Amino acid sequence: MGLEQNIIDSSIKQFRYYKKLADDAMAQLEANDLYFKYHADQNSIDTIIKHMAGNMKSRWTNIFEEDGEKPWRNRDDEFENTGLDRTRLLSLWEEGWDVLFGTLEKLKGEDLEKIIYIRNQGHTVFEAINRQLCHYSYHVGQICFMAKSMKGEAFESLSIPKNQSESYNNQRFKKGKERKHFTEDV
């Protein structure tokens, strides 16, 4: 496998990892928790879901033919309380990720250096992937933080649980060295 394909495959695995973190955090919440805000100016999880889904659909649809900020996207509406129920919110969430993965899985190594546009700013596909990987992980972190804050001690850890690093490391070092993406064990 060449470096370019490795970059694409690794990026897909990273996006899947962040999606799983958010999925696992949200699965621990009650439906009403998705709409909770600590204060009026904060985004609730449902707002973050709408924003991420809108962003993914806009950024990753027809990337070589159209700007990543589509005329049909209404970004401001993503931040309004629309009263979508949990089923519809999670459907939007999945739709956004489906567009992202559908596009990334079709990329070829030579596509990474092609120029695409987001609000008329040229990016290589590689740069656009990095931009969105950082953007989505930022929002996934917000979702996880909010879920953990709401659930308190009842929250099931999404990584190495507190005070279990030594045990985890001992298990990892008992295994021989191997080359694989860290998400393959998640």
Q: What is the pLDDT of residue 180?
A: 76
In a domain, 177, yes or no: no
Look at residue 95 and tell me whether its pLDDT is greater than 80: yes
Contact between 66 and 118 (Cβ < 8 Å): no
* Calpha distance 166→164 (Å, rounded): 6
Provide, rounded to the nearest whole percent, the portion of the chain with pLDDT above 90. Answer: 81
Which residue range(s) make up the domain with 135?
3-160
Contact between 128 and 27 (Cβ < 8 Å): no
Reference 14, options 123, 97, 95; nearest CA is: 97
The string of pLDDT tens digits covering residues 164-182 is 899 888 888 888 888 877 7
122 CB-near residues (< 8 Å, 6+ apart): 115, 116
Dihedrals phi, psi of 115, to nearest 5 degrees: -95, 130
In a domain, 154, yes or no: yes
In a domain, 166, yes or no: no
Phi-psi bin for 152: left (phi > 0), alpha (psi -120 to 50), beta?
left
CATH code of residue 127: 1.20.120.450
In a domain, 181, yes or no: no
